Amino acid sequence: MDKDPYAGTDADGYAGIDTDPDPDPDAYQDRYQDAYPNADTGRIAPYRGAAADAPILTRHVALKEAFGRFWPLTKGDRRWFVIVFLLAILAAFAETVAILLFAQLTDNALQKGSVSAFWSPAGKWLAIAVVGGIVGYLGNSLAAWTAERFVMRLRARVFDHLQTLPPHFFQRNRRGDLVERLTGDVDAIEQLVVSGVVEASAAVFGVLFYAAAALWLRWDLALVTFILAPLFFAATRAFTGRLKAVSRRARKADGAITSVVEEGLVNVVLTQAYNRERDQHQRLQREARTSLRASVSSARLNQFYEELVELLETLCVLTIIGMGAWEISEGRMTLGQLLAFAAFIGYLYPPIRSLGQLGLTAVAATAGAERLLEILDARPSVTDPAASDSVTVPAGGRAVGEVEAQGVTFRYPGSKHEAVHDLSFTAVPGELLVITGPSGAGKSTLAALMLRFYDPDTGTIRLDGEPLDHLPLTHIRGNVTLLPQEVLVLHDTIEENIACGREHATHDDVVRAAKAADAHEFITATPDGYDTIIAPGTSALSGGQLQRVAIARAMLRDAPVLILDEPTTGLDALAAQRILAPLRRLAEGRTTLVITHHLDLAADADRILVLDDGRLVESGTHTELLQRSGLYTTLFEAQPQARNGAVQPPSRTRPSGSRWG
């Protein structure tokens, strides 16, 4: 069973965040079947990470579970909670003493008209007010600090987990919605776990003190008013369910808005080019209307609750005044006592009210908790091997680069169709394999398997003779470099975009790599040279230039195994020719797999593997395959001549001393 890498981790208060809440394999299978009603689940082993590949499933989470799952993140800060509690007790105590002093002032100074009786209680009251102010300030500052630390930790926790999830997860879940979960929902949980606990404890202490003081003043009157207290809780209960439903809708709508905005920004060029501004506007309006309806419903429910509670309060105060008037007329109570009693009861309501309100906040927060747990419960499709299976490799150790695939079969989770079927091949350092085949043949899937984004269903892929699932993921990914179809661009300088290939790369390393990738010339021609900022989607560089930046990055990375996924896709024939020389330099001495439709490098290949419908149908050199007149010949002849290797790049493009030179 795959284990979450953080499960059981003690550091930073991660311990106890249970990422394995659903240990019953049948329950898991049910959830999976819900997501993929047509899938042949008989073949899907529980806990193999399929959950990460399913669309996010909505699971209703009870308040207790939500609290229990996130409370462990407060570890390390709980001593501050205790201090906040103590300060809350002190604040409630100061308030109680102040009210008693007020009663004393009313009876001794006001009713008797005695100025001399004023000074002593007034001085004490002032001192208590100063202490109360300091205590309140310290308590609230400390509470805010602990709350923000919790938010920081929770966000990091969810973000770290997101980064372990497979590419599939991000295809199925909208990025904007995930962003919203990392921001809005994280804040909502903070309201439940930290602010909620702090406010609840302050309210509980308030209730205890004021109730005790009211009982001490007149226990019989106090009991009568307490009888009315359950009305507040009844009112809260009546609203809980409805508010939760509305909050869930609001959180979802916020996620949808962020998604539309995020997608709009990413695709802004396409939007303008296709005059789709109006459509984008309407998409946003649609989501905004849903959000508006949910927010207004939520505000209306909250307001209705507020008004109802105020009515209940008025009922209680009138009851006290009525009874107090009778008591005074009978001579059993002084005016000061009545005022103090009314004040205690008056002070009692806000904390009772805030407890009720907190109940609603907590319920609303569970909607956020549901959305975050949906991410945390998605399992990575692969994890590091268990210690017993793991092969010991030195940290940062360099592999030789021998690759072997043996009988590899793989089907994407939820798909009935095998993307790769019984595939076997080997490749050794210095060898160049071209993997080609029609669209959908399984070429990119092979790249994903080589990097262990997924594990094969059957068969094994080995690096230097060791099965990938026995090697640490960092070792695999440190030794297998992928140049994906789409160049990965960070919103940063060109220098940083190259330097991210290796830790601690110096400027000289970057320049050397850029020169080897034939990129130095155009980089220095840009206005800010290596400091020119490039951004995903709107880069100032052409496709071919970006490809050369990616090659420079890979040069710097210097991994023994190189996978080039359609390195010339999207480039015209001339631009493609321009990157062949740096690609050859990059491939030199490494185990290189070039996945491609375009057979620009075909004549260079030591071997060509031809895939069709996930199966290896032909294998051999360019010349051998052409003699067979099979699928390869068909694919080759379908290419424009400039791209099919028939027009060989002039030998000057080959580096001297190269195997291909």
Ligand X SMILES: Nc1ncnc2c1ncn2[C@@H]1O[C@H](COP(=O)(O)OP(=O)(O)OP(=O)(O)O)[C@@H](O)[C@H]1O
Which residues ranging from 118 to 177 are in contact with ligand X (CB under 6 A)? 168, 171
441 is an interface residue for ligand X by CB under 6 A: yes
CA distance 324 to 429: 95
Q: How far is the CB of 646 from ligand X (least distance, A)?
A: 21
- Exactly one of 442, 567, 582, 649 binds ligand X (CB under 6 A); that residue is 442
Which residues ranging from 366 to 395 are in contact with ligand X (CB under 6 A)? none
- Exactly one of 153, 353, 379, 443 binds ligand X (CB under 6 A); that residue is 443
CA distance 505 to 291: 47
Nearer to ligand X, 244 or 421 (CB): 421
Q: DSSP labels for 197-250?
A: HHHHHHHHHHHHHHHHHHHHHHHHHHHHHHHTTHHHHHHHHHHHHHHHHHHHHH
43 is an interface residue for ligand X by CB under 6 A: no
Nearer to ligand X, 419 or 541 (CB): 419
Angle in degrees, CA 343, 345, 349, rounded to 5:
115
Which residues ranging from 586 to 625 are in contact with ligand X (CB under 6 A)? 597
- Exactly one of 444, 493, 619, 621 binds ligand X (CB under 6 A); that residue is 444
Q: How far is the CB of 613 from ligand X (least distance, A)?
A: 8
Please, is 83 exposed, middle or buried when counting C-beta atoms within 10 Å of its C-beta (0-12, 13-18, 19+)?
A: middle
445 is an interface residue for ligand X by CB under 6 A: yes
CA distance 242 to 246: 6
Nearer to ligand X, 444 or 639 (CB): 444
Asked if residues 450 and 403 have their Cβ atoms less than 8 Å apart, the reply is yes
Q: How far is the CB of 310 from ligand X (least distance, A)?
A: 55
- Exactly one of 108, 191, 383, 415 binds ligand X (CB under 6 A); that residue is 415
Asked if residues 25 and 46 have their Cβ atoms less than 8 Å apart, the reply is yes
Q: How far is the CB of 413 from ligand X (least distance, A)?
A: 8
Tokens in use for 615?
Answer: 């199966």
Nearer to ligand X, 493 or 639 (CB): 639
Asked if residues 69 and 86 have their Cβ atoms less than 8 Å apart, the reply is no
Q: Which stretch binds ligand X (CB under 6 A): 57-65, 436-444, 525-533, 585-593?
A: 436-444
Nearer to ligand X, 320 or 450 (CB): 450
Nearer to ligand X, 443 or 520 (CB): 443
Nearer to ligand X, 102 or 412 (CB): 412
Cα separation values, 654 from 11, 434, 571, 604, Å: 52, 18, 20, 10
- Exactly one of 440, 467, 472, 570 binds ligand X (CB under 6 A); that residue is 440
55 is an interface residue for ligand X by CB under 6 A: no
Q: Any residues with CB less than 8 A from the CB of 278 and at least 6 apart, and which?
A: none
Q: Which stretch binds ligand X (CB under 6 A): 14-22, 380-388, 414-422, 575-583?
A: 414-422
412 is an interface residue for ligand X by CB under 6 A: yes
Q: How far is the CB of 160 from ligand X (least distance, A)?
A: 23
Tokens in use for 200?
Answer: 């609840």
Looking at residue 425, what DSSP letter applies? E
Total chain residues near ligand X (CB under 6 A): 15
Nearer to ligand X, 417 or 628 (CB): 417
Helix, strand, or coil (residue 421): strand
- Exactly one of 358, 382, 419, 603 binds ligand X (CB under 6 A); that residue is 419
Q: How far is the CB of 250 from ligand X (least distance, A)?
A: 31
Q: DSSP labels for 436-470?
A: E-STTSSHHHHHHHHTTSS--SEEEEEETTEEGGG
Angle in degrees, CA 308, 311, 313, rounded to 5:
110
CA distance 78 to 443: 52
Angle in degrees, CA 222, 225, 226, rounded to 5:
85
CA distance 368 to 176: 15
329 is an interface residue for ligand X by CB under 6 A: no
Q: How far is the CB of 563 from ligand X (least distance, A)?
A: 12
5 is an interface residue for ligand X by CB under 6 A: no
409 is an interface residue for ligand X by CB under 6 A: no
Nearer to ligand X, 221 or 595 (CB): 595
Across-strand partners of 565?
A: 595
Length of the chain: 661
439 is an interface residue for ligand X by CB under 6 A: yes
Nearer to ligand X, 198 or 602 (CB): 602
Asked if residues 589 and 430 have their Cβ atoms less than 8 Å apart, the reply is yes
584 is an interface residue for ligand X by CB under 6 A: no
Nearer to ligand X, 166 or 324 (CB): 166
Q: How far is the CB of 375 from ligand X (least distance, A)?
A: 19
Q: Count CB neighbours of 40 within 10 A.
A: 11
CA distance 429 to 357: 67
Q: How far is the CB of 174 from ligand X (least distance, A)?
A: 16
Binding positions for ligand X, rule: CB under 6 A? 168, 171, 412, 415, 417, 419, 437, 439-445, 597
